Structure 1
Amino acid sequence: MIIGACTIKLLIYESNSLKEKRHVIKSIIGKIQSRFNVSIAEVDLNDSWKTSVIGFACVTNDTSHANQMVSNVIKFIDKDSRVEIVDYSIEIL
């Protein structure tokens, strides 16, 4: 069993309140859950209205598949014009 895990720190451009931040983050999380087979959630900076940390993980039986899944999710988030990826870390276990 191979686990691909990633945390991504995001800067949210359109956010002027926690309500607006939650709207953007929930939208991104919902799109990723429907498109990719990963578990995803906001894991840090819950009270900051301009930044967020999202974590996601996938389970597979192949290391290259785990790398590909993680890369695809990162590329998907990077294409979203509402946010900017500030930093990310990937772990393959």
Structure 2
Amino acid sequence: MYVGTLSFDLLLGDVHSLKEKRSVVRPIVAELQRKHGVSAAEVGDQDLHRRARLGLAMVSGDTGHLSDVLDRCERMVAARPEVDLLSVRRRIHGDDD
């Protein structure tokens, strides 16, 4: 069994309040969950209206499948025009970790 995680540091575009931030972040989290079957949430920078830190996790028995899904999630977030992807941190843990 393998566990893969991604952490995204995002700069939000034309956002002036925490309410506007939620209207940008929630659809991204929902799409990650719906399209890729991962657990996803906003995990940091909740008090900053132009920054967001998203985290996601996935469990798989195959590292190839795990890497493929994580790659697709990263491409999806990077392609969103309303955010700038500042950094991505990826981790994969196996049974022997």
The TM-score normalised by the length of structure 2 is 0.93
Offset at residue 67 of structure 1 (A):
1.1
| Residue in 1 that maps onto 2:61 | 61
Cα deviations by residue, 1:34-91 (Å, 9 ceiling, x for unpaired): 1111000000000000001000011100111111111100100111100011011000
Aligned Cα RMSD in Å? Answer: 0.7
Whole-angstrom CA distance in 1 between matches of 2:58 and 2:80? 21
| Residue in 2 that maps onto 1:31 | 31
Whole-angstrom CA distance in 2 between matches of 1:20 and 1:33? 21
Q: Does 1:41 align with 2:10?
A: no
Question: Which structure has the larger Rg?
Answer: 2
Aligned residues: 93
Identity between Structure 1 and Structure 2 (%): 29
| Residue in 2 that maps onto 1:4 | 4
Which runs of 5 or more residues in structure 1 are unaligned?
none
Structure 2 residue identity aligned to 1:49: H
- Alignment of structure 1 residues 15-30 onto 2, 5 Å: 15-30=15-30
Structure 2 residue identity aligned to 1:22: R
Which runs of 5 or more residues in structure 2 are unaligned?
none
Which deviates the most, 47-56 or 57-66? 57-66
Structure 1 residue identity aligned to 2:53: V
Whole-angstrom CA distance in 1 between matches of 2:50 and 2:84? 11
